[in-house]
Chain A
Amino acid sequence: MTLQNPIKLSADVGGTFTDIVLERDGVRWTTKVLTTPAAPEQGVLTGIHAALQQAGIALSAVDTFVHGTTLATNAIIERRGAKTALIATDGFRDTLEIGTESRYDQYELALARPKPLVPRPLRFTVRERIDARGDILLPLDEADVRNVVTALRAADVQSVAVAFIHGYANDVHERRCQAILHDIAPDLHVSLSSAVCPEIREYERTSTTVTNAYIQPLIESYLLRMERRLQADGFRGVLCLMTSGGGLTSVDVARRFPVRLVESGPAGGAVFAAQIAARLGERKVLAFDMGGTTAKISLIEDYRSETVRLFEVDRAARFLRGSGLPVRIPVIEMVEIGAGGGSLARLDGLKRVTVGPESASSVPGPACYGLGGTRPAVTDADLVMGLIDPNDFAGGSITLHPDQARTALSAEVGDALGFSADMAAYAVYEMVCENMASAARVHTVERGVTASQHTMIAFGGAAPLHVARVAEKIGVQRVIVPPNAGVGSAIGFLAAPISYELVRTTYMRLGSFDHAIATGLLEDMANEVRGWVEPAAHGAELLEHRVAYMRYIGQGHEIAVELPLRPLGPADDAVLREQYERDYVTLFKRVIPNAAVEIMAWSVRITTATELPDVASAPASSRAPEASGTTAVFDGRSGQTIQVPRYRREQLVPGARFPGPAIVAEDETATFITAAFDAWIDGIGAIVMERKELAA
């Protein structure tokens, strides 16, 4: 049974704001309330009731409530999780801390590393050993386990991660360990590596399991409180949680595997961008999300985001790969750099203008907020250049002070270079756009595609101000700024499918491929995944994807090869090789003849269908709209101030067409259309910019 015209509600709990979106029959109501960190359900409920009141809908009439939260991420970053212990194989007490043995910054000797979630005194080991093939080399010493429990009790531990070497290949010791723990200490939360992350590579698996254990008690109690409050207020629908991989999951799964909730906000943003792409029929998209502290760039091809299997939380050096705690979960692939409205500008030792990653955050904020900030942020540069109206920022709720922005820009950037405040602002603006353009180029190169052949979709508060210039720099021809871009993640939640993905390492070599074992493994995995998805799907049609991660023997990188949805037979050995080589050629141009191929891991993903909107028809062309005024904008290239027409977004009707340069203001932000683009408003109210030479 599928619901006809269901009423849907979503909440995205961010660090500062909680966004609520309510949807019925294609109509949306949105609210933004302050997050209440001590008890986030408080803010969520306040926001929900405000939105329901606007719409005149009762909570009891709501069919689904989709919830995404940064609670898990923040608990890790702020080290507010449970007192957690690790039980590992004898001889491997320090796997969690030894990590990859490498340095993420070639020139920094005094490297900071994130503190492990479990300190050495709480890392216990027991005698047992399983080999790479899953055979037992040394049976589990149960007396060792019982001794550990005594120590756990003494140390007042709440949550335990069990991660044995090759636990993914055979979970018998981990399960036995869990049974003993359950017998003696039934109140302990237990996370097994064979359940949380049954994949090869002991450091990443242990880290993922420990992270899961660390946040489990906190998330469980939060979800329990949330469910109770919702029920008390009359909610009778289905509660789902947004996961990092872009799919929704049930409360049960979230309770067992809370690590999958990390990074759910950005995943919602990616789903939002994919929906917009489908609406506009854009098959190659670069999603560009620029907020207060960071910019995120991800690729969306054929309305789908790529997922990867590794993510880092709590990077000690912001944005430096390798400086965080690895978690191996399905996560939407994106690059994130320290470039947002609050990113601070300064001169480096070579007097080069540098922007970010340090951020002004909300207190004191950029200098122009007049709250005591003396260092210039990107927002200060936007303001001084004339892109933001000081009297109409955030719907007029904050009055901005251009004089304080100018002072800060001169003091920190302009004076030492002999630049005016205007020129300093332009320099900061250009540099932050350059940084984002570079990130986009490198990210697309990593994925083997060309940035300039994509359309950019911009959302997040700061993106519309900068996207046109970034697009110019990477040669993008078309830019889209959708409506409601400020609450994009929460809107994305509403469109996300229910899904669950399980990846399991089981080694197999083509040529001696055992189709019976492979089929059995895939069936078991599919049954497990179906068990997680079905309760939340409520009878909706389920789609299954099976993938083998394969590589040439000895190579470092595996590629995902799609498997047929049927029992595998003896002939599939050759079929898999053929399929692998076809995919390999696509990625790397040529195959390695006669080289042996191995399968490292298998994945099963089951999902409900993603509802993609139909392509909206383009509106008929209409007359050029009336500008509401002009704004003086400083152009650093010519050193001149130019008069730029200014429009109010709500006054622009579909079909309206106007040339750049132009500024389109709305309550939450403003869109800057540079002279290189023409703009028009499409059928869903999105601002579409097209490069002038093509628009003619």
Chain B
Amino acid sequence: MSISLIDKQIMWNRLLALVEEQAQVLQRTAFSTIVRESGDLAAGVFDAQGRMLAQAVTGTPGHINSMALAVGHVIAKHPTHTMKPGDVFIHNDPWIGTGHTNDFSVTTPCFRGTEFVGILACNCHLMDIGGSRNMTGSLDVFMEGLFLPILRIVEAGVVNETLMSVIRANTRLPVETEGDTYALISCNEIGCERLTQMMDEFGLDDLDELSDHIIDTSKAAMLEKIRELPRGTWSASLTLDGQDGEPVELRAALTVSDDGINVDYTGSSKMVRHNFNVPLCYTLAYTTYGLGCILARDIPNNAGSLEPRTVTAEEGSILHATKPAAVVQRHLIGLMLPDLIFGCLRQAIPDRVPAEGAGVLWNISGFGPRHSPAVMGDDFLVNIVTTGGMGALPSQDGLSATGFPSGVRGGPVEIFESMSTLVFWRKQYREESGGPGTTRGGLGQHIELGNSLPEAFNCTTSYERVLHPARGFFEGHAGAPGYVGLASGKVLPGKARHFVPKNDRIVILSPGGGGLGNPRKRDAALVRQDVENQLVSAATARDVYGVDLEDRAAAAE
């Protein structure tokens, strides 16, 4: 039977709505705070061959493409003809899932009657999966909690209680973790129900013709976008702060050909002893996302649109870390990949690519006693998401205090303070931090945090761009580097657990984004506006931008 073109389009839209609905179900029923507040989850629908047809657009890009491939791993281990109605598979293997053990991935074969028609998959971040409590301290993946290979959590409709009890026994939060596991299972159930309803409504026996349409159309559109680019290979590198005085060097060579784009990370640093090694699936996610932002923002993610984007990395390098490397903080490196990819693309299509930005989130985690004098064991542990500035765009200034590439929401100061004894004495724009340029980089933030009790407290930070600021391009200047220190003067490293003495404060200046183009070519009206807004000083306007406001004032008199 041949399906009409308009019905194919309607069904494609239906599948896109189906995965959004799946994501909603998960977000509503999950226990994990980060899933509910920030949407750290993924959901997708696949055809009977395991080709991804649609994926929900959720809070973080870390699941793009990685989930598309994860289902292939499940099928390789458990071929589809061995799957039965009512089977559900689970795993949290960082190398075939999402890059760290904190995410459970659930895969469900979907049957219409007894006929296997497709697959639903989803994953979400759990609050606790055991392992070390010190986020900066793991030395290998075995210190990062329970590790589940691909297993049947439900077999022919019956929950595997043995496996469930293993899960419960390996987390500090058994009720929440089990709850999240059920949320994942029902998320796929809803998706399967909607999929078979759609097939009933349109009288489909299988998804083959629809899949081909979605995949072929998307791949052709992606290739068309790629073929608008000049052919060639462009290289770029990025030096990151790393940890303990050991910087990380990332290298990329991006090749545009008729059949796609390949990003080759050969030459990047080897794996490190810290826990920000990156499994290849996560490298692929942020590579795909970085390319997507520039090239294909209107093309939905599916097997067709993803296929022309490929990655090469040397096994054993920090971007293709192998077991048992510690990977729990793989986002510290992964989130910097878009800037590296932009470094290559900027040479090919300079008018479409932003300057470098702050990259990783500038989250603050505080730990201290609830009372003074301190009572052993009665402590608070609080976290707040904060950000730096984005790089300048060719068409407009970079956004200030905005997360990119992660789009996670920042936290309210008042909520943070209500859960602790800490006090933010300042959290506002960090003036002069945006990299000057024809278009200016976004501003970072000036944050000061103290304790309302006469007690010391601890503050954990995992930052980049302290030693290596976001660079500007085409004569645009770098954004201000980040800074961590005590109000009393001592400079602190970007990645560490800091001790803030009694009556002192910690000062955190998040980095600004880089500028694009010569600042002297910036529209003088915009410079004056920046000075009026006190984002740029009169001296910088004069010395860097070449706009002398006093002259003008004098002339006006």
In the bound assembly, the distance between CA atoms of A348 and B300 in angstroms comes to 12
User: Are A201 and B9 closer than 8 Å at their CB atoms?
Assistant: no
**Contact partners of B281 in chain A: CB under 8 A:** none
- Report which of B37, B182, B426, B534 forms a contact with A556, defined as CB distance below 8 A: B37
B5 contacts A417, C-beta separation under 8 Å: yes
CA gap between A90 and B408 in the complex, in Å: 27
Chain B nearest CB, measured from A169 CB (Å): 9
Q: Please tell me which one of the listed residues A108, A131, A427 contacts residue B452 in the complex, with CB atoms under 8 A apart.
A: A131
Residues of chain A in range 453-478 having any CB-CB distance to chain B below 8 Å? 473, 475
- Write the nearest CB–CB distance from A629 to chain B, whole angstroms: 29
Contact of B417 among A107, A113, A132, A448 (CB under 8 A): A132
Q: Bound complex: CA of A333 vs CA of B13, how far in Å?
A: 25
Which among A31-39, A431-439, A539-547, A667-675 touches the partner chain? A431-439
- A156 proximal to B (CB < 8 A): no
**Inter-chain contact B401/A101, CB cutoff 8 Å:** yes
Chain B contacts with A in 385-401, Cβ cutoff 8 A: 385-387, 390, 393, 395-396, 399-401
Stretch in contact with the other chain, from A92-100, A302-310, A393-401: A92-100
Give the Cβ gap from B328 to chain A, nearest Cβ, in Å. Answer: 20
Q: Is the CB of A101 within 8 A of B423?
A: no
**Nearest residue, chain B, Cβ from A125:** B428
Instruction: Name the B residues within 8 Å of A59 (CB-CB).
Output: none
Tell me, rounded to whole Å, the shortest Cβ–Cβ distance linking B368 to chain A: 15
Instruction: Count residues of A near B (Cβ-Cβ below 8 Å).
Output: 68
User: What chain A residues lie within 8 Å of B298 (beta carbons)?
Assistant: 348-350
CB neighbors of B among A133-153 (8 A): 137
Q: Given A91-B427, A98-B428, A110-B393, do A166 and B410 touch, yes or no (CB 8 Å)?
A: no
Chain B nearest CB from A135 CB (Å) reads 8
CB closest residue in chain B, given A592: B175
- B413 touching A94, Cβ below 8 Å: no
| B387 and chain A: residue at smallest CB distance | A101
Which residues of A have CB within 8 Å of B427? 91-92, 95, 98
B24-32, B42-50, B74-82, B265-273: which one contacts chain A?
Answer: B24-32
Would A555 and B36 count as touching, CB distance under 8 A?
Answer: yes
A693 contacts the other chain (Cβ, under 8 Å)? Answer: no
In the assembled complex, the Cα of A442 lies from the Cα of B21 at a distance in Å of 5
Q: A442 with B179: in contact, given A102-B402, A103-B402 (CB under 8 Å)?
A: no
Establish whether residues B14 and A438, one from each chain, have CB atoms under 8 Å apart when the complex forms: yes
B144 contacts chain A at the CB level, 8 A cutoff: no
Query: Is B33 among interface residues, defined by CB-CB distance under 8 A?
Result: yes
B6 close to A423 (CB less than 8 A): yes
Known: A110-B395, A423-B6, A426-B6. A100 touches B429 (CB 8 A): no
In the complex, B314 has a CB within 8 A of chain A: no
Interface: B347 (CB within 8 A)? no
Residues of B within 8 A of A98 (CB): 400-401, 410, 427-429, 445
When distances are taken between beta carbons in the complex, the residues of chain B under 8 Å from A24 are none
Query: Is B33's CB under 8 angstroms from A556's CB?
Result: yes
* Residue pair B292, A107 in contact (C-beta under 8 Å): yes
Q: Which residue on chain B has the smallest CB distance to residue A427?
A: B6
Contact of B428 among A94, A113, A119, A352 (CB under 8 A): A94
Please tell me if B418 contacts chain A, counting CB pairs below 8 Å: yes
Which residues of A lie under 8 Å from residue B412 when comparing CB positions? 200-203
Chain B interfacial residues counted at CB < 8 A: 76
A120 in complex: contacting residue of B176, B424, B535, CB < 8 Å: B535
Minimum CB–CB distance for A187 against chain B, Å: 26
Q: How far is the CB of B3 from chain A (nearest CB, A)?
A: 11
Q: Are B534 and A120 in contact (CB under 8 A)?
A: yes
Contact A101 B403 (CB under 8 A): yes
Which residues from 559 to 598 on chain A have a C-beta closer than 8 Å to any C-beta of chain B?
588-590, 592-593, 595
A431 and B13 in contact (CB under 8 A), knowing A98-B428, A98-B429?
yes
Q: Does A129 contact B (CB under 8 A)?
A: yes
Are the C-beta atoms of A103 and B404 separated by less than 8 Å? yes
Contacts of B423 in A (CB 8 A): 129, 131, 137
**Shortest beta-carbon distance from A443 to chain B in Å:** 9
Contact A349-B179, Cβ < 8 Å, known A119-B533, A120-B535: no
- Identify A438's interface contact among B17, B399, B428, CB under 8 A: B17
CA distance A417 to B533 in the complex (A): 51
Report B427-440 CB contacts with A as 1/0, cut-off 8 Å: 11100000000000
CB of A445 within 8 A of chain B? yes
Q: Which residues of B415-471 have CB atoms within 8 Å of chain A's CB atoms?
A: 415, 417-419, 423-429, 445, 448, 452
Say whether B238 faces chain A, with CB atoms less than 8 Å apart.
Answer: no
Q: Is B491's CB within 8 Å of the partner chain A? A: no
A121 to B531, CA, bound (A): 10
The interface bits of chain B over 217-234 (1 if a CB of A lies within 8 angstroms of the residue's CB, else 0) are: 110010000000000000
Q: Which residues of chain B are within 8 angstroms of A623 by Cβ–Cβ distance?
A: none
Residue B409 CB within 8 A of the other chain = yes
Q: Is A319 an interface residue (CB 8 A)?
A: no
Central interface residue in A99, A109, A431, by most chain B CB within 10 Å? A109
Residues of B within 8 A of A351 (CB): 217
Partner of B36, one of A101, A350, A353, A556: A556
Whether the pair A557, B29 counts as a contact (CB closer than 8 A) is: no
Smallest Cβ-Cβ distance to B197: which chain A residue: A475
Residues in B whose Cβ lies below 8 Å from that of A108: 297
Is A121 in contact with B532, judged by CB distance below 8 angstroms? yes
Bound complex: CA A456 to CA B28 (Å): 24
Flag if B24 contacts A350 (CB, 8 Å). no
Whether the Cβ atoms of B57 and A106 lie closer than 8 Å is yes
Q: Which residues of A contact B532 (CB under 8 A)?
A: 121
Nearest Cβ on chain A to B315's Cβ, whole angstroms:
30
Taking a contact as CB atoms closer than 8 A, the residue among B179, B401, B414, B452 that contacts A137 in the complex is B452
Q: Supply 16 A–B pairs (Cβ within 8 Å), ascending by A.
A: A91-B424, A94-B428, A98-B401, A98-B445, A101-B409, A106-B57, A203-B412, A350-B218, A426-B6, A427-B6, A427-B9, A430-B10, A434-B13, A438-B14, A441-B17, A556-B33
Which residues of A line the B interface, CB within 8 A? 90-95, 97-103, 106-111, 113, 119-121, 129, 131-132, 137, 165-166, 200-203, 348-353, 417, 419, 423, 426-427, 430-431, 434-435, 438, 441-442, 445-446, 448, 473, 475, 507, 554-557, 588-590, 592-593, 595, 636
| Cβ-closest 4 pairs across A and B | A101-B410, A91-B426, A438-B17, A107-B297
